[in-house]
Chain A
Amino acid sequence: MEPTNIKNPEFFHKVVDCQHACPAHTPVPEYIRLIAEEKYTEAYMVNWDSNVFPGVLGRTCDRPCEPACRRGRVDEEPVAICRLKRVAADNKGDVKAHMPQGPFKPNGKKVALIGAGPSSLTVARDLAPLGYEIHLYDEQKLGGGFMRSQIPSFRLPEAVLNEEVNYILDLGIHTHFNQYVSSLKETLDKGYDAVFVGSGAPKGRDLDLPGRKEADLNVHIGINWLANVAFEHTTKIGKKVIVLGGGNTAMDCCRTARRLGGEEVKVVVRSPFEEMKASPWEKEDAAHEDIPIIDNHVPKSFVVENQVLKGMIFEKVKAEYDKDGKRKLVPVGGADVFIEADDVLIAVGQENSFPWIERDLGIEFDKWNMPTVDTVTFVSTNPKVFFGGDAAWGPKNVITAVAHGHQAAISLDLFCRGESLNVRPSPFVNLVSQKMGIHEWAYDSAVVNDDRYVVPQADKKVTLVNRKKEVELGFDHITGFKEAERCLNCDIQTVFSTDKCIECDACMDICPTSCISFTENADETDLRSMLKVPAANLTQDLYVSDPLKTKRVMVKDENVCLHCGLCAERCPTSAWDMQKFFYNVTKAHTGCASHAK
């Protein structure tokens, strides 16, 4: 193999699994260390810069970082990254003083953002400090988009959401709430220099089954129903409730129903339990609230008697897989199942919908009625119109919407300054030695053995009678510290200098996880099999040195490195050094600011 080019920041970025997996590339180990030091304000600001809604995400994020966490590969469970973020948000001091301080000198450009969800708010935050006049449109009375309408208050208290939305609105954003944009053409005609569409995927899917029309009064589309609950148009539901669907929206629906008077709430899902789309922890939370999840049941019809919904009929199926692993649900035979219900909530997916975008504006739509959007620059085929969040490629999650917002903001700024959208700003990168002395590092290198800590929850007796009572209590300071200590500090990189190595094998012998080998060089496939423990995880890179004196090479399998620093401690010549790698995606307000002046 060719020697690894560690000057390319993407190599070490990939070693920081959590940060690499985060769509917004939040510097996770950096803020976890700050939490361990009780520097909650600083930890919050590291988050705020990257993901804009630390308090919201610390409660509701889909956590792509946690399955990626290296700890999950050597220990039973990954670090509770998401809930640590909440610790920072819960305990922070005055963060506003660290945020950009307006009023900002206008740069004469006007941008309209359609929809006040996470992607638009991110664009607003990134562009406002540059002097843009931002106009934010939303049909609801408050900002937040689906963070407000779809995520129930018992998971995300309104106060937390309001606080973080207001940090952005306070930057001098012109809000146009309670205002449904019914024509993109009209908006464009208002003289905006550019328009960002962050209108989400607002249309809940329906099920066209026999009896659907007759039962309409008691059948609700999940996301609409959740919005009605959030805005207090809906305050109660029948005693017996069926929730159809197996995603996180279904979990929110069933748990909300329990709080609005549902006594026998059942989730019925077509697929096997293990294959449900909902996050495992959301399924656990539903089970904890006595909500059975009935899997392998396909809905067939609504049963209505005397214009009143009585329940639903389901067919029992099982999953079969063909040789390509493609799933087919096959009826198992036997009688269909009748389940009683006073109300049915349909949470089987949601779709984009752009009835308000005229098709003659130069914006290309595909056969699924989705706009053609550039995956890097987020521009549509109309150079003035940008898309992001769920509006761009369908429903994802908050953190993805934020990541889109950052990149779209950069594009909008480049566009308004008449520059090429394809010249993207490089990330901010730093690499600094952590050596303080013999066996002394500037980071806490010891690896603790603790199992993952469980986030305490409020008593069901309290939470089930009050829709607004938050279920999770969050970690206290001490537990937060202990959980933070579980982080392996993957951003403290093992950096190898070939010219200093005397090939004494000390690093190879000491490495607890057998990551380091000295061997003849070979191509990657062979090399992976020649290591002390073969490197079978192909998603993890090998770090290969230049040839050493004996013509061998040092090969480090990055897979299960604990970043404990023992290789560097046992190295007599400091050929190994532990160096803190900081990687931060450049945002419009930091990277492009100098040009804007």
Chain B
Amino acid sequence: MTYIKPKFRHPELPKNKLGYSVDHYEGALSTLCAGCGHDSISAGIIQAAYELNIEPHRLAKLSGIGCSSKTPAYFLSNSHGFNSVHGRMPSVATGAAMANRDLTYFGVSGDGDTASIGMGQFVHVVRRNLNMTYIVMNNGCYGLTKGQDSATADQGSKNKSGNVNLFESIDLASLAIELGATFVAQSFSGDKSQLVPLIKAAMNHPGFAFINVISPCVTFNNNLGSTKSYDYVRDHVEATATIDFVPQMQEISVDYGKGTQKNVTMHDGSVLQLHKLAEEWDPLDRQSAMNAVINAKAKNEILTGLLYVNPDAHDLHHMIKTSDHPLNSLTKADLCPGSAILVDINAELR
């Protein structure tokens, strides 16, 4: 019986600009089932945070309830964390972000937590464009309660006990585009080469960044007939584009040639370098993003990669004109500016 992760690491593990090696971003040993896609996504989050040189104490991870929402225990142990009520992570994230706009907010949710009990919360956090990354670890079933179909299970998909799902599934990515999300991507837990740059881009996006990640439930939804099994996803996955996230000030070294390449410059000067695979698709155009998703679905394909981005989006703080500084940094002088200011304000209202 082990289940203890040894403390030894590879002696030549590289360090990032902050002097941390990737193990500084690890969490506790996962208690999810062996082979769970969620663990792979956790590893992707660890890798992205390491590569983005994020100071762990400047990040808050938030989650709801479910297998997915357990994962924040398994990454970024040195960061802030809040495991909230089922489906209510967006509210807690909104409150936290309103109070301290300087942290990076990273939300983790599942298909049940987002598409069922938390749907009401989800749609509103999207339309408010809260500055956060929102990852759905989407396995199409309720893993914690032995694998019942969830709201994202595809119509016609067969579960482990042989039952076929009769209901139309909720497509979270198209829903997010529809509701005005300013960064929408889709990925697969078994493809870190795509997932890690997407997470990095999402964390750099100045608004609500949504990534729907197909994450096979190895115990309850990895059977023949399931549309969220490792084999099915691998056979049906299509990417909009390969993606490289090039941070600010770094020279772009890869050039895929004209016609197929699209660079999207983010607000801070970093660049999303896309090597386009899908035709008639423009990541800056909502309409074409919606079309791409619908077309893929019609062909029984799972479209992954960046779907839509609006790099000039304005987040909730900007929209409702909140303080430029976190509330905890405001002094008495900021909060009680004195009677002279009050007189000015009153004068404006006259």
Contact = CB atoms under 8 A, between A and B. Distances in A.
Nearest to B229: A502
A73 B189 CA distance: 33
Interface string B223-237: 000000011001000
Contact of B34 (A447, A536, A572): A572
B349 interface: no
Interface string A495-517: 00000001111101110111100
A534 B12 CA distance: 9
A449 B34 contact: no
Interface string B194-226: 000000000000000000000010110010000
A513 B9 contact: yes
B43 interface: yes
A506 B8 CA distance: 18
B8 A572 contact: no
B43 A509 contact: yes
A279 interface: no
A509 B3 CA distance: 15
Interface string B8-39: 11111110000000000000011001111101
Interface string A537-580: 00000000000011000000000101011100111110000000
Interface string B171-186: 0000000000000000
Interface string B29-57: 11001111101101100000000000000
Interface string A411-441: 0000000000000000000000000000111
A533 B9 CA distance: 11
Contact of A439 (B3, B6, B9, B30): B3
Contact of A564 (B6, B192, B216, B234): B6
Contact of A550 (B5, B42, B234): B234
B12 A536 contact: yes
A75 interface: yes
B35 A75 contact: no
Contact of B8 (A75, A446, A510, A549): A75
A515 B10 CA distance: 8
A512 B6 contact: yes
A445 B2 contact: yes
A439 B2 contact: yes
Nearest to A503: B190
Q: How large is the interface on A (under 10, 10 to 19, 20 to 34, 35 or more residues)?
A: 35 or more
Contact of A572 (B2, B30, B33, B42): B33
B35 A572 contact: yes
A447 B8 contact: yes
Given A503-B190, A506-B40, A573 B35 contact: yes
B242 to A, nearest CB: 14
Contacts of B29: 510
A572 B231 CA distance: 14
Interface in A473-529: 502-506, 508-510, 512-515
B4 interface: yes
A465 interface: no
Interface string B89-126: 00000000000000000000000000000000000000
A74 interface: yes
A502 B231 CA distance: 8
Contacts of B30: 510
B1 interface: yes
B2 A446 contact: yes
A73 B13 CA distance: 13
A504 B8 contact: no
B1 A506 contact: no
Which of B4, B34, B43, B222 has most A Cβ within 10 Å? Answer: B34
A515 B12 CA distance: 11
Given A446-B4, A549-B234, A564-B2, A506 B35 contact: yes
A230 to B, nearest CB: 44
Contacts of A75: 8
B14 to A, nearest CB: 8
Nearest to A535: B12
B9 A565 contact: no
A504 B34 CA distance: 9
Contact of A560 (B1, B10, B33, B218): B10
B321 interface: no
B299 interface: no
A509 B39 contact: yes
B7 interface: yes
Nearest to A511: B10
A522 to B, nearest CB: 15
B230 A447 contact: no
A506 to B, nearest CB: 5
A281 to B, nearest CB: 23
A566 B1 CA distance: 11
A504 B230 contact: yes
Nearest to A559: B10
Nearest to B23: A512
Which of B9, B189, B218, B234 has most A Cβ within 10 Å? Answer: B9
Contacts of B34: 506, 569-572
Contact of B35 (A446, A504, A534): A504
Contacts of A503: 190, 230, 234
Contact of B6 (A73, A534, A550, A562): A562
Contact of A447 (B6, B35, B36, B43): B6
A446 B29 CA distance: 14
B235 to A, nearest CB: 9
Nearest to A572: B35
Nearest to A550: B234
A566 B14 CA distance: 22
B5 A512 contact: yes
A560 B12 CA distance: 10
Contacts of A445: 2
Interface in A436-481: 439-441, 445-447, 449
A339 B230 CA distance: 78
Contacts of A441: 2
B42 A509 contact: yes
Nearest to B14: A533
B35 A565 contact: no
B263 to A, nearest CB: 25
Contacts of B12: 533-534, 536
B8 A562 contact: yes
Contact of B10 (A449, A506, A509, A514): A514
Nearest to B40: A505
Given A512-B8, A560-B11, A506 B234 contact: no
Which 9 A/B pairs are nearest by Cβ-Cβ distance?
A572-B35, A447-B6, A509-B43, A74-B8, A504-B35, A505-B40, A445-B2, A572-B218, A514-B10
Interface of B: 1-14, 29-30, 33-37, 39-40, 42-43, 189-190, 192, 216, 218-219, 222, 230-231, 234
22 contacts: A74-B8, A74-B10, A74-B11, A449-B7, A502-B222, A502-B230, A502-B231, A503-B190, A504-B36, A504-B230, A505-B192, A506-B40, A512-B7, A513-B9, A514-B9, A514-B10, A533-B12, A550-B234, A564-B2, A570-B39, A572-B35, A573-B35
Given A504-B40, A512-B5, 20 more contacts: A74-B10, A439-B2, A440-B1, A447-B8, A449-B7, A502-B218, A509-B40, A510-B39, A512-B7, A512-B9, A513-B8, A513-B10, A514-B10, A549-B231, A560-B8, A562-B6, A566-B2, A569-B2, A572-B33, A572-B36
